[in-house]
Amino acid sequence: MRISLIGFGNVGRDFAKLLIRRGVDDCVVAIMASKGGVLRRDCMKARDLSRYIENGIYGESMDMGLDDIIDAGIDAAIISIPPSYDTGEPNLSMYRKLLSSGVSVVTSDKTGLALDFAGLMAAAVKGDANIEYRATVMAGTPAIDLVRGLWGREVNSIKATLNATTNFVLTKIEEGLSRKDAVELAIREKLAEPDPRIDLDGWDAGAKLVILANQLGLNATLRDVKLSRFDADDERIRQAIKAGRRVKQVAVADMDSREMAVTLMEVDASSPLASVSGNYNAIEIRIGGDTVSLRGPAGPSARTAEVMLADLLRLKRAIH
């Protein structure tokens, strides 16, 4: 299978490392990043990938775009680019063009699926392509697989803690840091972007919630999710601990009313949602009088890359 890597940050490089270490026989013909890329008509050798992992691609990069890699005859694009929830671009247009050109997609980026899940699925069908996206939600834990297994069931609601940055910040506030200091520490530890609002104000968790809900047939977008700013009082967070509760950023989808929200709320300390911190996430799904729970790791980048490789292998099996 001829593939291109689109995005060559931590996840993209870890994916390339996996290709080398696991001896995967796919043919990498292109690597594209925000300021250019490298393109080969034949397959890149392991030593080429190793050089790009070590030194980056810009020393050898050329001015190239999506048309160039499509024209190179790729079968699949491995996408690990930053989200663009405000306008959706250039992410949405890229997905649409790849799928309509018959190029299958393996992605960790949530933008397209959060803003136009149904449209991208339809584009994949029309273009005779596939889109694999298990790395978009709790990448180290099979959350998408769980929800796929519930398709056709009468699911009432989803509740989940889905953002590692917020988990980290809330835990540090519980331990005595101020909100400002906890956020600054998350940035220094590279657990948050210099502008952490995508995580703290619910955009990331909301996008993941939409993907899960759409997998169950809700047909929603991120625009349907009510997002709340990260405005919890430090003392309230600490007092909740004393009362046997924890403040968490919780993403909620009521499948009956079609209402969705991401907000800070107190949850009982015995709940799976309260038990997670750091890179761990948790989901509770209500089905009638029953609850199905899943708890496990999300990132970091190496886990995400592992899931993307598993999705590539799944894609190859589906095609062949």
Same domain, residue pair 148 and 293: yes
Does residue 166 share a domain with residue 135?
Answer: no
State whether 151 and 180 are in the same domain: yes
Q: Which of 126, 208, 226, 316 is catalytic?
A: 208
Which CATH number is 23's domain given?
3.40.50.720
The verdict on 103 and 149 lying in the same domain is: no
**Bridge-based pairing state of the strands 76-79 and 36-39:** unpaired
Q: Compute φ and ψ for 107, nearest 5 degrees.
A: -135, 150
pTM of the model: 0.95
Asked if 32 and 157 sit in the same domain, the reply is no
Distances, alpha carbon 97 to alpha carbons 104, 123, 136, 184, in Å: 11, 9, 20, 38
Helix, strand, or coil (residue 289): coil
Q: Would you state the pLDDT for residue 147?
A: 96
| Model confidence at 68: pLDDT above 90 | yes
Question: Does residue 78 carry a pLDDT above 90?
Answer: yes
Position 279 scores a pLDDT of: 82
Least confident of 55-59, 128-132, 207-211, 247-251: 55-59
Residue 110 marked in a binding site: yes
What radius of gyration, in Å, describes the C-alpha atoms of the chain?
A: 20
Considering only residues 17 and 298, tell me which one the structure prediction assigns the higher pLDDT. 17
Q: Judge whether residue 67 has pLDDT over 90.
A: yes
Residue 125 known to bind ligand: no
Q: Model confidence at 102, in pLDDT bands (50, 70, 90)?
A: very high
Query: Residue 147 is part of a domain; what is its CATH number?
Result: 3.30.360.10
Q: Does 190 belong to an annotated binding site?
A: no
Buried b (16+ CB within 10 A) or exposed e, 91-122: bbebbbbbbebebbbbbbbbbbbbbbbebbee
Please determine, for residue 172, whether its predicted confidence score (pLDDT) is greater than 90: yes
Render pLDDT for 27-53 as a digit per residue (tens, 0 to 9).
999 999 988 899 998 899 999 999 999
The answer to whether residues 94 and 69 touch, using CB atoms and an 8 Å cutoff, is no
Q: Which helix (H) or strand (E) holds 292?
A: strand 290-297
Q: Is 208 a catalytic residue?
A: yes
Cis peptide before 297 (omega within 30 of 0): no
The answer to whether the annotation marks 9 as part of a ligand binding site is yes
> What's residue 300's pLDDT?
84
Number of domains in the chain: 2
Residue 231 has pLDDT above 90, yes or no: no
Residue 191, pLDDT score:
80
Contact call for residues 157 and 147 (beta carbons, < 8 A): no
Give the mean pLDDT of 216-237.
Answer: 93
**Shared-domain flag, residues 152 and 97:** no
- Segment 91-104 mean pLDDT: 98
pLDDT > 90 fraction of the chain, expressed in percent and rounded: 84
Q: Are residues 243 and 163 in the same domain?
A: yes
Residues 155 and 260 in one domain: yes
Query: Are residues 285 and 147 both part of a single domain?
Result: yes
Q: Which domain holds residue 105?
A: 2-140+301-319
Residue 246 binned pLDDT confidence (cut-offs 50, 70, 90): very high
115, 156: one domain: no
Residue with tokens 């657990």: 191
Q: Across all residues in the chain, what is the average pLDDT? A: 93
Residue 87 pLDDT class (50, 70, 90 cuts): very high
Asked if 202 and 262 sit in the same domain, the reply is yes
- What are 116-150's pLDDT values in tens digits? 999 999 999 999 999 999 999 999 899 999 999 99
- With CA atoms as reference, report the closest residue to 76 among 308, 318, 312, 309: 312
Give the mean model confidence (pLDDT) for residues 209-230.
96
Q: Assess whether 191 and 285 both reside in one domain.
A: yes
Q: Is 10 labelled a binding residue?
A: yes
